[in-house]
Each structure stands twice: as C-alpha cells, then as structure tokens.
Amino acid sequence: MLEPIKITLDSLNLGTVAPMAIAIAGALGILLTDIFNKDKHKSLYVVLVALFLIFDLFTLLAFSGEERGFFDLMLIDGISKLSQCIIIIGSIFFIFFSLSKLRFQEFRYAEFFALYLFAVAGFQFMVSSDSLILIFVGLETSSLAIYTMIAMHNRMVSIEAAVKYFTMGALAAAFFVFGSMMLYAVTGSVELAQMAQILSEDGFLVVENYANYAMVLIGFVFMFAAIGFKLSLFPYHIWVPDVYQGSTSAMAGFLSVIPKMAGFVVALRFFEIFIHANDIIIQTMLYVTVVLTMTIPNLIALQQTDIKRMLAYSSISNAGMAMAAILIGTHQSTVALFLYWILFTITNFGAFGMLWLNRGKDFDNKSTPYSFKKFSGLAQISPFTASMLAMFLFTLTGLPPFSLFWGKMYLVASAVNASYIGLAVIIIVNSVISAYYYLRPISYMFLRDPETEFKETKFMQNGSTPIKSVVGFTVILTIISVLLIDPLLNIIDLYVSNSGF
C-alpha cells in the first residue's frame, strides 16, 4: 500500500509565494472589476496596479523566513529579493506611462493592466527559483502576457511586432525545454544547485568523460540560446529593433529593462555553474558572445536615423555590457551587474519616457514619430525638453557625473580587478563607438535649426502631469546619482553576499 502523503502547511513556507500571490490577486481583482463595471477610466486601473505592486513590494521586504519553500521550488535568497525589488519598483514607474494625454487603444482594456500584473508575477517567479521547471513557467507566463500587451496597441506594426516576438519567444521556449531535458538526462535533476553538484562531483565537465561531456555541452548550448533570446544576446537579438519599433515607447522602455533583469538573474544562476568549471569551450563561447553583443549592435546603431530604433540597438549593446559582468563572475562583478542595471533602468526609463512624451498622432504605419529630423532644432523650440533628452543620451554615453557613468565605471573596475583587461578595453571602445550615435540626435537637437517640413510639429503632445512628474523625478535621480551610489552599493553588496555570489 502506498504511504499516504503528509504535507504540513508549515513545510510549504507560504511566505515565499506571498508577494507573487498579491500581484496575481491584483490582476484577478482588476479583471473582476472590469466584469462588473464597464468602461471605467484607465486611471482607476493604473492606480490599482501601482497599489498592488506597492503592496507586493512591502510584502517582499517584510519577508524574513526560511528562504526555501514549496518543496525547494521557491528560493527567496539575496539576489532574488534584490532583483524582485528592481522589477517591482521599475514596473511601478512604467505603469504611470499609461496615464498619457492621448488616448490609446490598449489602455481602454482592463485586461492590459491585468496582464501587466501577471507579467510582473511571472518575472518574480523566474528570479525566485532554481528549478528549471518553475523558471520556465515564470518565463512563459510573463512572455505570453507581454506578447498580448504589444499586440493590443492595435496598429499593423504592433501586431507584426507581437507576432515576431511570439515566434522568436516560442523558439526560445522550445530551446529552453530541450536544454533542460538534456541536462536532466545527464544529471537526473532539474534543480540548478543539485545539477551543479552532480556535474562537478561526477566530473561531467571533463573531456575524458566524452559522451556525457557532449551531452552537457548540447544542453548548455540550448539553454544559452534560450537565455540569449530573452536577454537579446548576439546573434539572438534580431527581433529587438522591430519589436521595439512596433510597440509603444512606454512598452519598449519596459521591455528593454524589466524582462532582462529577470533574465540576468536566471543567467547568473545558470552560468555560474559553468563559469566556475573553467571549461574552455564554454568560456570562449560566452566571451565571444559578450564581445559581439556589445559591438555588432553598436555598429548597426551608427546607421540609424530614428531615435527609438537607435535606443533599441543601444539597449542590446548595454545588455552585452551587463552580460560581461556575469562572464567575469566575481563578487564585485555581480554587484556591478545590479548597480549597472539599476542605473540603466533609471536612464532608459527617462530616455523612453521623453520619447513617449513627444509621441504625436500624426504618423502612419510606415513613418515614425521619432526620426532625428523631426527633433532638429528642438533646443530652440523647447530648450527644456531638449536638455532633458540630451541629458539622458549623454548619460547613456557614460559621461560623468550622470548615473550610468558610475555603473560603467564600476563594471570596468570589476573587469580590471579580475584581470580582464582585454574585456575592459573592449567595453571602453564600445562606449566610444556608442558616443557617436548618441551624439547624432543631440547634434540634431542642439546644433541645427528646425527643419521646414516639420515646422508644425508639436512637442510634448502626450505629456500629462503624472508622466512629466515621474520623468522629472528620474531627471533628478540622474543628476544626483553620485549621492545614490554609496547606499546602493551597500544594499547590493549585502544582498549579493547573502546569496553567496
């Protein structure tokens, strides 16, 4: 007779899923509200989302218990908490973009906001587990929500973007499952910690153990490709520019930072096993990918004439730089990764926010509202808008004393300290290349006179007070960032060392 399965509620450690449960409850609440009340204004849902996310954040911060729960599926360790904080706070910021002045199709549906919360919950699951199954479920939950949200914009380009993203995402999901299967076949576990143990104890990562080594490598390559799709690493980055261009600036900004934060944590947990194994093939593969991810999109960005598309390429290149931190694999570089990504979130939020504010309705599927030409002479029409956008672009260039400089500096320092001088030089060279394309829109805005064909263009058409205030807030954060670095470093350091990276 089978032994009856006895599970106490205590052993589940429900606290570990409480934060995500709140986000999901919020989403369901929004859906219910919509069923019983038709045509409510979007501001209701925006505030509800913000409220639930804040609630979510506080539950997370209040969490203090056993870090494992649900039969070891959940793992709320330091980096999980830290990345969840970044994801939630970032999402709170981004939801305010929905309070735009112009009316857009997607914001008329309550489902958009419910999906937003589902996506956030999915990211939270992704970062707080070391079981490949739960990571996969989290990844798919969030990705499916995002495909839908992009398509809800209801323009041809958006639907194209959504389909493109969906196809690529489906391929990545398949890779993920296939890679997990391979690794499971070799090690008999889907939990990263156990997998690492078995791999190192049984010597699966040595060439002598040929049959298994090949299996591990194949598994790694598939997983790498899957993560690469999510993080937009070269050569899996091709979907990025089209998807960003098809989605609204608000959505593109969200896509460029929040999902990648979750992706980086997964990458951190997964690659850690292999980086410390000192396997030459895997090391080379990572190194080459990181270098190409930084360089190739930078070179393509030089040719762009549209700010949003340029920012899409720049965010790929920035993801490459953050990925370099994972490659280096020291404690300092992990701290650098989080610092870099926090500052990059602030900066990219500001940059895409400025684009979102300046979005008009006077363009069709073929044209773009963000061409360089349209912005020429902006400094004379609206000096304040121009200065703010220019400041964010200078920040992305990595000019001191603005926020991203400190992230880049810390990253380069961690590379130098780990004797990756070559990598440090490559990062620097890429900063210079990127300086050129960031300078181009600035030179259009500040150095040229307004173009005659765009004389009638109105700027800040989409600007409502809430959006302006959050963007203004990030402007202040960017300027005073030098004072934020010290506390940020202390917090990150604490959390990262808690989880042993």
Positions that interact with other proteins (CB under 8 A): 379, 383, 394, 397, 399-401, 405-406, 409-410, 412-413, 416-417, 421, 424-425, 428, 431-432, 435-436, 439, 443, 446-448, 482-483, 485-486, 489-490, 493
- C-alpha 334/C-alpha 190 separation (Å) is 24
Minimum distance, C-beta of residue 327 to other proteins, in the bound complex (Å): 17
Q: Return the number of the residue (344 or 394) whose C-beta is nearest other proteins.
A: 394
Closest CA to 84 of 144, 149, 151, 16: 16
Determine contact, residues 268/496, Cβ cutoff 8 Å. no
- Grouping H, G, I as helix, E, B as strand and the rest as coil, residue 306 is strand
Length of the chain: 501
Closest CA to 96 of 233, 254, 231: 254
- Grouping H, G, I as helix, E, B as strand and the rest as coil, residue 93 is helix
Minimum distance, C-beta of residue 286 to other proteins, in the bound complex (Å): 22
Q: Return the number of the residue (87 or 485) whose C-beta is nearest other proteins.
A: 485
Minimum distance, C-beta of residue 237 to other proteins, in the bound complex (Å): 24
Minimum distance, C-beta of residue 297 to other proteins, in the bound complex (Å): 19
Q: Return the number of the residue (19 or 398) whose C-beta is nearest other proteins.
A: 398
Q: Return the number of the residue (137 or 416) whose C-beta is nearest other proteins.
A: 416
- C-alpha 53/C-alpha 130 separation (Å) is 24
Minimum distance, C-beta of residue 398 to other proteins, in the bound complex (Å): 8
Determine contact, residues 141/125, Cβ cutoff 8 Å. yes
Q: Return the number of the residue (367 or 419) whose C-beta is nearest other proteins.
A: 419
- Tally of helices (H runs) and strands (E runs) in the chain: 20, 2
- C-alpha 125/C-alpha 116 separation (Å) is 14
Q: Where are the beta strands (DSSP E) in 429-469?
A: none
Minimum distance, C-beta of residue 443 to other proteins, in the bound complex (Å): 6
| Sequence-ordered list of residues with C-beta below 8 angstroms from that of 408, at least 6 positions apart, any chain | 321, 340, 398, 427, 431
Determine contact, residues 107/44, Cβ cutoff 8 Å. no
Which residue type sits at 89? I
Q: Return the number of the residue (83 or 431) whose C-beta is nearest other proteins.
A: 431
Minimum distance, C-beta of residue 437 to other proteins, in the bound complex (Å): 11
Q: Return the number of the residue (451 or 493) whose C-beta is nearest other proteins.
A: 493
